[in-house]
Amino acid sequence: MSQSLTIRRPDDWHLHLRDGAMLQAVLPETARHFARAIIMPNLVPPVVTGTDAAAYRDRILAALPDGMVFEPLMTLYLTEDTDREDVAAAHASGLIKAVKLYPAGATTNSASGVRDFDKVRGVLERMAEIGLPLCVHGEVTDAEIDIFDREAVFIDRVLDPIRRDTPGLRVVMEHITTSNAVDYVKANAQDLGATITTHHLIINRNHILVGGIKPHYYCLPVAKREEHRLALRAAATSGDPRFFLGTDSAPHTDPLKESACGCAGCFTATNTMSLLAHVFEQEGALDKLEGFASRNGPGFYGLPVNQDSLTLTKGEVVRYPDKIDTGDGPVTVFDPGFEVHWHVTT
């Protein structure tokens, strides 16, 4: 006997679409199931002004296949030269929904990010005034800090001081990977939310390293110990509205992943909703899936919940493609390492 669950159509609050041929190939993988997504601005060159964001939005909409409905929620890339009034104008026009903070050198295409946080203080204060959220990639980049400790150190050294110095600033801790981040969100009731990815609910660092290096499980922030994965699962399935879905689905071609210096990122846009149903069922929390995927994110961003729905039905094994073909080369779809039985219909 099949089992079925209908929820409001979900949104993705952290998504990489890239540009050009890659954009054209991966956009349908998100638009098939998701109504909206917060679009990451770390292109080359990055999306740093309202003009940049408007042009990128137009390219995304032009790449959307006929018959698909999808709203890209644009962001700006915070640099030490960002103009606070350009940010405010882009927000007032409805063009952007957030500004993204990358510590310089933290992840893919983050070279233009922030090194001296005093230089962006004025922008952050203006954002607090107008209620514009700051999305943070929460890792320090100091060479002496172990890569598995970078998130916890970021909270203490960077994030907490920023929030104390900028009252009213709304912050999204993106793709959290540690119990430290879960605990920090729980201890701070106001103006703070966190996204959790699909893959961090499924893999820990052993999946990357045991039995040989698995480049398609390598991401940043890197997956941590099992105790942290379990803390993320507990947070995602708790019903706490401060935690919501942000896949951080990040397409890279296979040659860029499977190289001597492979790129960070897991491509999960294709199968995320099936995987989430599997995870939430394992945790006895299918009734919490709609909150995590469809309600908590809009609640934090002050947007309406989607009116249309998505249905998940448990049955025979779902066969997702191993790869997505793009004009730039093949992109491997995230492999959870187990059979998936939740089918998605809209």
CB atoms inside a 10 Å sphere around CB 247: 31
Element (H, E) at 171: strand 171-173
- What is the token pair recorded at 249? 């689905």
Residue corresponding to tokens 């491509």 = 267
Residue corresponding to tokens 């992109």 = 331
In a 3-state reduction of DSSP, which class is residue 123?
A: helix
Choosing from 248, 254, 287, 328, the catalytic residue is: 248
At how many degrees (to 10) do helices 272-282 and 226-236 cross?
90
Q: What angle do CA 180, 184, 276 make, to 5 degrees?
A: 70
- Is the separation of the CB atoms in 96 and 130 below 8 Å? no
Beta bridge partners of 76: 99
Provide CB contacts within 8 A for 267, sequence distance 6+.
26, 249, 250, 251, 252, 324, 331, 332, 333, 334
Could you give the CA distance from residue 174 to residue 180 in angstroms, rounded to a whole number? 13
Q: Note if 58 is an active site residue.
A: no
Beta bridge partners of 4: 313
CA 40, 98, 159, 102 torsion: positive or negative? Answer: positive
Element (H, E) at 148: none
Residue 89 is classified by DSSP as H
- Is the separation of the CB atoms in 224 and 177 below 8 Å? yes
Residue 76 is classified by DSSP as E
Annotated catalytic residues are 248
